[in-house]
């Protein structure tokens, strides 16, 4: 993984010193709340329901065991013994004290981490495929370009006070596992007809209040121009994005208002002038320098199948069930990637205790070259595990509640912190997730339902990505009471689509029944081997609506 040199170390140390002084001036009354707010936000610090919330950047989701141990230490020393892994591959602490934040940032700097631009109206953490570097369908490993983007976006002086937040995702494989269609800028690595590597550039996608699938603004961008082109997009956005209404300030609204053709014309005109002889054109030398940090691990030469693994699969139903869901193919023979689930029923999705983090760090050291990834589905991933170690790894993970065999299934719920923690939320989300998980606790039934993404957001900001859930649940406020709106048919990936709302919203206590009725309709209608979302696409929303509302719908409308 990328290791800091003296420049990176100096920059992060100077940031800690800067924020320490800003915090001191704020506490001394020299900075007003309004002046301090953007400064603390650009260091990941929100003021939340109970205490400040600190969001730490995990660049493109990659962590070393040493970094994870530091995150555990911070959870123990400065929080209440846990952290929350987010849908943007970061980690949040819910209970730090403002006064201690500079010390936390200093601890992070010790392990080459920071909280820079994890919030605020600036370029946020770059996200990518959690199987980067090990996926079989990869064109190139996206991480070197993601690191180059990280450095370019860090303290970019022109784009620190944008109209609104700005998220960039990068995908290096054919299958999109980074939601490039749903970001302010999505970069999808492609090869053109002459075999050159480049990027398909997508702009103006996003979820939130106005969900929009992004538009392709350029079919093929030479990778060396990744930074010059992003600068052109950002300059047009910074100058012309709306600033009069926070809900209409994202780049997607500008793209929609101008139309993609006109927006593209402006960007291309800007790029045409700015790119000429630009020193921001990435050099092969720089690419090679960064890429050297992401060389393949020192893999052993192994046979594709391991006899002891095959035996264990045959011997243990619960192991084979876990392997079916939580073990993923790897490009090297004899290796696999493993999802350690943070979706155990009764635990808020994405939460991990300090003890679990220390334990996973040990697992990473023992089984996966001391590295791990955070997935946007809020799980942890050991990317490089020998197949012969899978059984021992499963047993160890199980002992710490990290082996729920539900990846890709209904109970692998993606969920924001919701009204229990977040001051933006309209409604709670964690208790809804838990109630649904309890309803679907029968593993055989769960596996029979098959792959199903269920996403819950506590408000329109859609941190739980409910728009792209096969079933999406959104918390809404109705005259001070919490209700839940349900959509179906959303999906992530290359065919990304936004879900359709099925009708009037429900009380919290109805939610497990509503989901059960959706599943009943699906079971009744599905063709063999057809996923829930494919059935929705084939037959439409109406049968599901009828299944859920029956006559009650007329009552609700009355």
Rounded to an integer, what distance in angstroms lies between the CA atom of residue 135 and that of residue 129? 9
Q: Is 283 in the site for other proteins (CB under 8 A)?
A: yes
Contact mark string toward other proteins, 17..56, x via CB under 8 A: xx---x--------x---x--xx-----------------
Residue 306, classed as helix, strand or coil, is coil
Contacts for 555 with CB less than 8 Å, ≥ 6 apart: none
Please tell me whether residue 295 binds other proteins under the rule CB under 8 A: no
**Residue 384 bridge partners (DSSP):** none
For residues 261 and 204, the answer to whether their CB atoms sit within 8 Å is no
| H helices present in 400-498, as ranges | 430-439, 443-449
The helix-helix angle for 317-326 and 307-315 (nearest 10°) equals: 120
CA–CA distance, 463 with 423 (Å, rounded to integer): 13
Q: What are phi and psi of 176, to 5 degrees?
A: -85, 115
- Nearest approach in angstroms of CB 364 to other proteins is 29
| Window 242-281: contact mask with other proteins (x via CB under 8 A) | -x-----------------------------x-----xx-
Stretch that binds other proteins, among 154-162, 315-323, 324-332, 395-403 (CB under 8 A): 154-162
CA distance 121 to 203: 17
Whole-number Å distance between alpha carbons of 270 and 476: 41
- Cβ closest to other proteins, residue 108 vs residue 116: 116
Q: Can you spell out the DSSP letters for 348-389? A: -TTEEEHHHHHHHHHHHHHHSTTEEEE-TTS-EEEEEEEGGG
Least Å from the CB of residue 295 to other proteins = 18
Give the Cα separation of 276 and 232 in Å (integer).
Answer: 12
Given 100, 103, 174, 286, the residue binding other proteins (CB under 8 A) = 286
Judged by CB under 8 A, how many residues of this single chain contact other proteins? Answer: 42
Q: Which residues, 109 to 138, sit near other proteins by CB under 8 A?
A: 121
Identify which of residues 119 and 337 has a Cβ nearer to other proteins in the complex.
119
Minimum distance, C-beta of residue 170 to other proteins, in the bound complex (Å): 17
> Can residue 554 be called a binding residue for other proteins (CB under 8 A)?
no
Cα(536)–Cα(514) distance, rounded to whole angstroms? Answer: 16
Closer by beta carbon to other proteins, 120 or else 350:
120
Q: Does 553 participate in binding other proteins (rule CB under 8 A)?
A: no
Q: How far is the CB of 153 from other proteins (least distance, A)?
A: 8
Q: Which stretch binds other proteins (CB under 8 A): 146-154, 309-317, 437-445, 454-462?
A: 146-154
Supply the minimum distance, in Å, between the C-beta of residue 325 and other proteins: 40
Question: Between the CA of residue 387 and those of 330, 372, 392, what are the distances in Å?
Answer: 10, 17, 10
What stretches of 192-269 adopt beta strand conformation (E)?
Answer: 197-203, 215-222
Stretch that binds other proteins, among 9-17, 338-346, 405-413, 498-506 (CB under 8 A): 9-17
Under the binding rule (CB under 8 A), the answer on residue 165 touching other proteins is no
- The residue (of 31 and 139) whose beta carbon lies closer to other proteins is 31
Q: How many CB atoms lie within 10 A of CB 275?
A: 17
Q: Does 159 bind other proteins (CB under 8 A)?
A: yes
CA distance 496 to 501: 16
Find the binder of other proteins among 99, 110, 137, 158 (CB under 8 A).
158
Helices 260-274 and 226-240: crossing angle, nearest 10°?
120
**Residues 208-247: x where in contact with other proteins by CB under 8 A, - otherwise, as a string:** -------------------x-------x--xx---x----
Strands 62-64 and 52-56: unpaired
User: Would you say 29 or 195 has its CB closer to other proteins?
Assistant: 29
Q: Does residue 11 bind other proteins (CB under 8 A)?
A: yes
Q: Does 289 bind other proteins (CB under 8 A)?
A: yes
**Residue 304 binds to other proteins (criterion: CB under 8 A):** no
- Both tokens of residue 338? 């493993």
Q: What minimum distance in Å lies between the beta carbon of 116 and other proteins? A: 11
End-to-end CA distance of the chain: 60
Binding site for other proteins (CB under 8 A): 5, 7-8, 10-11, 14-15, 17-18, 22, 31, 35, 38-39, 121, 148, 151-163, 227, 235, 238-239, 243, 273, 279-280, 282-283, 285-286, 289
């Amino acid at each position: 993984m990328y290791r800091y040199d003296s420049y990176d170390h100096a920059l992060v140390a100077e940031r800690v010193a800067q924020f320490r002084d800003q915090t001191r001036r704020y506490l001394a009354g020299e900075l007003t709340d309004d002046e301090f707010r953007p400064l603390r936000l650009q260091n990941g610090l929100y003021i939340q329901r109970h205490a400040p919330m600190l969001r730490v950047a995990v660049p493109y989701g990659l962590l070393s065991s040493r970094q994870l141990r530091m995150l555990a230490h911070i959870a123990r020393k400065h929080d209440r013994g846990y952290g929350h892994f987010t849908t943007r591959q970061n980690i949040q602490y819910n209970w730090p004290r403002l006064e201690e934040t500079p010390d936390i940032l200093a601890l992070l700097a010790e392990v080459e981490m920071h909280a820079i631009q994890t919030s605020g109206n600036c370029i946020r953490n770059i996200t990518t495929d959690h199987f980067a570097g090990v996926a079989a369908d990869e064109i190139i490993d996206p991480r070197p370009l993601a690191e180059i983007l990280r450095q370019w976006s860090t303290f970019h002086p022109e784009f620190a006070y944008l109209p609104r937040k700005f998220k960039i995702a990068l995908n290096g494989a054919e299958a999109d596992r980074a939601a490039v269609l749903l970001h302010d800028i999505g970069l999808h690595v492609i090869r053109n007809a002459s075999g050159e590597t480049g990027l398909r550039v997508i702009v103006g996608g996003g979820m939130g209040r106005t969900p929009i699938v992004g538009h392709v603004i350029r079919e093929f961008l030479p990778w060396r121009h990744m930074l010059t082109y992003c600068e052109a997009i950002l300059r047009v956005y910074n100058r012309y994005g709306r600033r009069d209404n926070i809900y209409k300030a994202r780049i997607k609204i500008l793209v929609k208002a101008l139309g993609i053709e006109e927006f593209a014309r402006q960007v291309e005109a800007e790029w045409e002038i700015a790119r000429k002889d630009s020193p921001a054109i990435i050099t092969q030398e720089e690419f090679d320098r960064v890429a050297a940090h992401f060389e393949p691990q020192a893999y052993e030469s192994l046979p594709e199948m391991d006899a002891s693994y095959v035996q264990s699969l045959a011997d243990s139903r619960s192991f084979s069930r876990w392997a079916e869901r939580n073990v993923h193919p790897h490009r090297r023979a004899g290796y696999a990637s493993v999802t350690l689930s943070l979706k155990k029923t009764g635990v808020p999705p994405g939460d991990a205790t300090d003890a679990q983090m220390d334990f996973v760090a040990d697992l990473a050291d023992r089984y996966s070259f001391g590295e791990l990834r955070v997935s946007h589905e809020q799980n942890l991933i050991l990317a490089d595990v020998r197949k012969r170690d899978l059984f021992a790894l499963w047993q160890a993970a199980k002992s710490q509640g990290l082996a729920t065999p539900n990846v890709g299934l209904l109970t692998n719920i993606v969920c924001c912190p919701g009204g229990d923690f977040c001051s933006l939320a309209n409604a709670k989300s964690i208790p809804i997730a838990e109630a649904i998980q309890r309803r679907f606790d029968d593993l055989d039934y769960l596996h029979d339902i098959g792959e199903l993404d269920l996403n819950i957001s506590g408000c329109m900001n859609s941190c739980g990505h409910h728009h792209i859930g096969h079933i999406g649940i959104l918390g809404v406020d109705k005259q001070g009471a919490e209700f839940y709106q349900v959509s179906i048919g959303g999906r992530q990936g290359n065919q990304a689509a936004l879900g359709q709302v099925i009708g009037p919203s429900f009380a919290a206590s109805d939610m497990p029944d509503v989901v059960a009725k959706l599943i009943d309709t699906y079971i009744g209608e599905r063709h063999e081997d057809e996923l829930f979302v494919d059935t929705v696409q084939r037959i439409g929303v109406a049968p599901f609506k009828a299944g859920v509302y029956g006559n009650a719908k007329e009552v609700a409308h009355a």
